[in-house]
Structure 1
Amino acid sequence: MRILRLAAAAAVVFAGVGAAQAQDWSKIRIGTEGAYPPFNTLTADGQLVGFDIDIAKALCEEMNAECVFVTQDWDGMIPALQAGKFDAVIASMSITEERKQKVDFTNKYYNTPPAIAVPKDSPIKGTSAEDLDGVALGAQSSTTHSNYAEAKLPSADLRLYPTPDEYKLDVASGRIDAVIDDVVVLSEWLETEDGACCKLLGTLTPDPVINGEGAGIAIRKDDTALRDQFNEAIEAILANGKYKEINDKYFVFDVYGG
């Protein structure tokens, strides 16, 4: 009798484990920064807009899931995901080996190279390590771009900022000499009134180890079903034209990459 009771208790426990693993993903909390235009940004009236946001909405629609967005400072993005503040990160997070130690990723949903921007009257001629020797170079902290600068441009005077807005203000006011970020982010900024100070110096050759495989959706390591659903949805919007529709809303070139 005791054996039967133990077996029944074990069955209840395992059933509970199975139910926990079979997570209902009809509602998904999406973590994003809201400070990285044109990919994700908060408007004056508190609305989240941008390429990342539209892609997230398209993927959730494809998955028949409700999207709920949660804003989070970039430096705390992965810890907040691990702590359960949200279920996925769609915030232009590059897929790198270092991050893979902490979280899982979907396949990429875009891939663009890093670049350097400088004031229009800058004497800096190129983007090599020699060209940037001693240059005060701004970058957002905890990004692949700051990691790239540390590894590939070691003689630059790297200055780290919480968000791109701070480095943009400093290069516009002459407190730093150059900035490094995604080519799309810099190009879009240069077309605005605030970016009229500066010009694109050139793009940099990505390092797969540092820059990763492109931007993907970060998922907790145990949430493999959610990762697989996102991957299927990414393939679906690439195939049905929705991805191109969103791409063309923001860019004049294909950001998906090869």
Structure 2
Amino acid sequence: MKKWLAAILMITVLIIAGCSNDSGGVSTDNSTIQKVLKEKKLVIGMSPGYFPFDMKDPNGNFVGYDVDTANALGEALGVKVEYKQFTFDGLIPALQTGEVDMIFAGMTIRGDRALAVSFANPYFQTGQAVMVPGSDTKSKTWQDLDVKGNKIAVGIGTTGALLAKDVFKNAQILDFEEFPSAAAAMAQGEADAVVYDEPAIAVWKLRNEDAVTQLEGLISTENLGIAIKKNDFETIQWVNSFLSSYLGSPTELASHAKWFESSDWLDEVVDE
């Protein structure tokens, strides 16, 4: 990241901290940003398996668009970034108990989640898509799959899971720990389709070519956000300032091009 961007963001931290100590300002007693600066470490919760946002390479290192974004955020703060892995439905409890400082996991901003955590401004827009086996030449839309006897695989706790359980009235919904497990179940004939975020399904299609088909259109559109401890306004304000400078910057554009406009990295990651 450019030195000037890091300097601007550090100045923002100092300004916020100064204002917070004034009478009537925001309390920093429970500020994540102050804790991170004091400990010189930012702990990120992730759930690898969400391509191309959160993945691991063969050496066990976290890689992906979210990792690039988190690393840039850590660099702006001048702190070390540490990653901890959880199942997706274990991420919010980990944030609430202080086991992690923030969640970077392609998490959709939703009202129910906002009752438990706070979100910074959206950093990516996506939507829920449907994937079927390549041998399925009859299904054209998700409605074609909503018949008794069909099984729809989803990742437990994800937006796709909640949406599928809402819109599919006749098909059976099967919960799996993560997207790769749901996709593998479909490949083995245990499910007729998978509902998940469009970028991950698009990448799975690249990796498996004619073995799978992505149906046209999206069931929904949604914004992804970085989850922060509930009502931690100082940290939310700083992360929003970071995002306004980072998104669209040369660093972010290079990351986006690598993970979303190329498939060269596909052989450098492993399924979780």
The partner residue of 2:250 within 241, 248, 255 is 241
Q: For 1:133, what is the secondary structure of its paired residue? A: coil
Range with bigger deviation, 161-170 or 92-101: 161-170
1:45 counterpart SS class:
coil
For the residues of structure 2 that align with 1:43 and 1:239, how far apart are their CA atoms? 26
Q: Say if 2:201 is the partner of 1:190.
A: no
The answer to whether the Cα contact below 8 Å between 1:127 and 1:204 also exists between their aligned partners in 2 is: no
Alignment of 1:86-235 (within 5 A): 86-134=100-148, 135-193=150-208, 196-206=210-220, 212=222, 214-235=223-244
**Post-superposition CA distance 1:131-189 (Å, at most 9, x none):** 43232111101110011111122222111100112111111111111111111101101
Code of the residue aligned with 1:180 in structure 2: it is: V
1:84 aligns with 98
Structure 2 contact 123–247 (Cα < 8 Å) conserved = no
Deviation at 1:52, TM superposition (A): 0.8
Q: Helix, strand or coil: the match of 1:20?
A: coil
Distance change (3 Å), C-alpha of 1:203 and 1:174: same
Q: Give ranges in structure 2 of 5+ residues lacking alignment.
A: 1-26, 263-272
Aligned residue pairs total: 232
Distance 1:49 1:239 in 2: 20
SS of 1:31's equivalent in the other structure is strand
- 3-state SS, counterpart of residue 135 of structure 2: coil
Match for 2:192: what amino acid? D
**Root mean square deviation, CA, Å:** 2.2
Q: What TM-score do you get using the length of structure 2 for normalisation?
A: 0.79
Larger of the two Rg values belongs to structure: 1
List per-residue Cα deviations over 1:21-61 (Å, max 9, x = no partner).
Answer: 46243221111112222111122211111111111111222
Which letter maps to 1:53?
V
Contact kept in structure 2, 1:129 and 1:156, CA below 8 Å: no
Tell me: CA distance 1:150–1:199, structure 2 relative to 1, closer, same or farther (3 Å).
same
Q: Is the 8 A contact 2:53 2:106 kept in 1?
A: yes
CA distance in 2, matches of 1:106, 1:55: 13
Q: TM-score, normalised by structure 1?
A: 0.83
